Every structure is written in C-alpha cells, then in structure tokens.
Amino acid sequence: MSTLEIRDLHVAVGDKEILRGVDLTVRSGETHAIMGPNGSGKSTLAYAVAGHPKYTVTSGTVLLDGEDLLDMAVDERARAGLFLAMQYPVEVPGVSVSNFLRSAITAVRGEAPKLREFAKELKSGMDALSIDPAFAQRNTNEGFSGGEKKRHEILQLELLKPKIAVLDETDSGLDVDALRVVSEGVNRFRASGDTGVLLITHYTRILRYVKPDFVHVFAGGRVVEEGGPELADKLEAEGYEAYTSKAASA
Ligand code: ADP
Ligand code: MG
Ligand code: MG
C-alpha cells in the first residue's frame, strides 16, 4: 500500500505563481483524474512532482509513503516508485528501445537486470501490448507515431512497476489507437491494485474507457471541485466554464 500526498503545493515558473495551493492524495489501487481547462496548471503539477528544474516549489509538501519527494533528485524519485510519463519524452538517437528500457530498469532498481531475464520481461510486456517484436530494436522515440509513443510509455509502466504513475495526456495528438493503448494499460494496472494512477487530461473521452475513482477539477492552479466518476460526465455535458469563473473570483 502506497500513498502520494500533495499538501498545499505552490509552484512558480520564474516569478509567476502557477499552482496556488494544491491538495491531493493518491493511494495504490486508486485512479484519480485531474481535469481542467488549458492553462490551468495540470502539466505544471506533473512537472513539479517529477522535479523538473524549471518549476520552483515555493511552498507545500509532496510525500511518497511519508518520504519527502521534493528533497530527492529526479532519479531518486523514480527509485522511490514514482513514474512520470513525460519523464523520457526525447528522442534518444542510437539507443534502441530495448537498451533504453534496460537502462531505465537499472536506474529504478539500482542494478542491471540479467540479460536473459530482461529479455523475458520485455517479451511478455510487449506481448501484453501487442507490440511487434521489431519495435524493441528501433531508436527510442525516433519517428514514433502517437500510438507507438503511448505503447512505449505503457511498456515502461509494465516493466518499472511504479507505486504511483502520473500520466499527463497532453491535450493533442492522442488518436483513437493511442487512447485505446493507454486505457488498456491503465486498466491492467488498476486490476493489479499495486499502482496508484493520476491521469491528467483535458478531454473527458479517455474517461469513457478508464473509469476514475475520483475526479478533481483544476482551474487557476488549484483544485476547485472534487467528486466521483459522475463529475466527468457532468464536465462532458457542461464544460469548464462554471469553474473558470469560480477560479477567477477566488
Ligand atoms: P495545462 O497543462 O493545464 O494546460 P500548464 O501547466 O501547461 O497548464 O500551464 C499553466 C500556466 O503556466 C500557463 O499560463 C502556462 O503558460 C504557464 N507555464 C507552464 N509552464 C511554463 C514554462 N515552462 N514557462 C513559462 N510559463 C509556463
Ligand atoms: Mg495556500
Ligand atoms: Mg498540459
């Protein structure tokens, strides 16, 4: 049982305050959706928790099983059991998917997996996602389609088995195929009950495939409304307007 606990988190980029007191608790086995209009600070939350140097935490705490994540370097956060989907978004020329994943596992576990065991893990992970075996030899992220990027992301999840996964579904570029991959992957994790998922999204469509246990509405850099899955349906019907005006007057 793991818990990610975000308390009164304030984050700035330069001298501009973007997050203005975020409180959120995610436990293993739970799926939380963060929804909100563009520019409300959803990605900032993910970057701050990940430890991106551009995002300065000005106050508040982030604990993973009681340990202070904000005090840790990025790789230490990963070792502590945190996974961020956009952690490795870059093209890695000359590094195959297979080598990339073995390095990622080595970084998280603190030792390199034996080649034969890794090959077995990789194969079963790829089979589960219906990934063509040739994919393992491609250069990481080079020319990946939206669907391939997502498959790679979920494959990382399968192999790294984090305690808490933060998935920032950037608001564009998720085609139906990619959506299905993410949904199936997330649903498999939920079934294991070992991973807590924080799914960040602008659109409600992914939540038709992944039913969240909790929905948090983000506006103006804070959580302005919370509820169960029915809140996502309400947002789909009514949009964010009521919340943006609420945030502006807060
Ligand atoms: P969302 O993911 O909800 O669309 P973001 O977290 O990306 O929102 O952005 C929230 C606000 O913070 C926006 O006004 C955006 O311009 C600003 N912001 C985010 N990241 C940066 C950055 N690296 N540099 C400057 N401004 C940023
Ligand atoms: Mg505050
Ligand atoms: Mg975003």
The predicted-structure confidence for 180-215, as pLDDT tens digits, reads as follows 888 888 888 888 888 999 999 888 888 888 899 999
Helix axes 115-128, 146-160, angle to 10 degrees: 130
The one-letter amino acid code at 101 reads L
With b for 16 or more beta-carbon neighbours within 10 A and e for fewer, the 24-58 pattern comes to: bebebbbbbbbbbbeebbbbbbbbbbbbbeebebe
Domain hosting residue 93, numbered range:
88-161
Distance CA 18, CA 9 (A): 10
Give domain status of residue 96, yes or no. yes
Whole-complex ipTM:
0.95
Ligand 1 centroid–CA 89 distance in Å is 17
pLDDT score at 88: 46
Residues 48 and 60 in one domain: yes
Identify whether 221 is part of a domain. yes
Most informative mutation of 11, 13, 58, 202 for ligand 1 (most atoms within 8 A of CB): 13
Protein residues near ligand 2, an ion, with CB under 5 A:
8, 21
Query: Which is nearest to 173 in space by CA: 89, 84, 54, 82?
Result: 89
Residue 178: enclosing H or E segment and its boundaries? Answer: helix 176-192
Beta-ladder partners of 4: 26, 64
Q: In the 8-state DSSP scheme, what is residue 141?
A: T
Place of tokens 């073995």: 102
Residue of minimum CA distance from atom 7 in ligand 1:
43
Degrees to nearest 5, angle at CA 228 with 226 and 233: 95
Boundary-marking domain end, from 136, 161, 186: 161
Q: Is the Cβ atom of 167 under 6 angstroms away from ligand 1?
A: no
Q: Are residues 75 and 58 in the same domain?
A: yes
In a domain, 240, yes or no: yes
User: Would you say the CB of residue 242 lies under 6 angstroms from ligand 1?
Assistant: no
To test the pocket of ligand 1, the residue of 22, 43, 244 to mutate (highest count of ligand atoms within 8 Å of its CB) is 43
Do 8 and 124 lie in one domain? The reply is no
Question: Do 61 and 2 share a domain, yes or no?
Answer: yes
Q: Are residues 169 and 156 in the same domain?
A: no
Q: Identify which ligand lies nearest to the alpha carbon of 21.
A: 2
Look at residue 182 and tell me if it is in a domain.
no
Angle at alpha carbon of residue 246, lines to 221 and 205, rounded to 5°: 70
- Does 119 lie in the same domain as 6? no
Q: How far apart are CA 112 and CA 103, in angstroms?
A: 7
State the pLDDT at residue 62: 98
* Distance of CA 170 from the midpoint of ligand 3 (Å): 5
Q: Is 55 helix (H, G, I), strand (E, B) or coil?
A: strand
**CATH code of the domain in which 26 resides:** 3.40.50.300
Residues 169 and 247 both lie in one domain = yes
- Residue 30 falls within a domain, yes or no? yes
Question: Are 104 and 35 within one domain?
Answer: no
Q: What local confidence, expressed as pLDDT, does residue 183 receive?
A: 87
Q: Which residues of the chain have pLDDT under 70?
A: 86-93, 170-173, 246-250
Domain identity same for 119 and 168: no
Instruction: Answer whether residue 226 is part of any domain.
Output: yes
Distance CA 133, CA 100 (A): 15
Give the residue from 161, 186, 203 where a domain finishes.
Answer: 161
- Residue 42 domain-assigned? yes
Residues 134 and 169 occupy one common structural domain: no
Per-residue pLDDT at 153: 87
User: Number of structural domains, the chain?
Assistant: 2
Same-domain check for residues 21 and 66: yes
pLDDT at residue number 250: 61
Pairwise CA distance, residues 106 & 100, whole Å: 10
Looking at the structure, do residues 31 and 139 belong to the same domain, yes or no? no
Structure tokens at 132: 């063509």
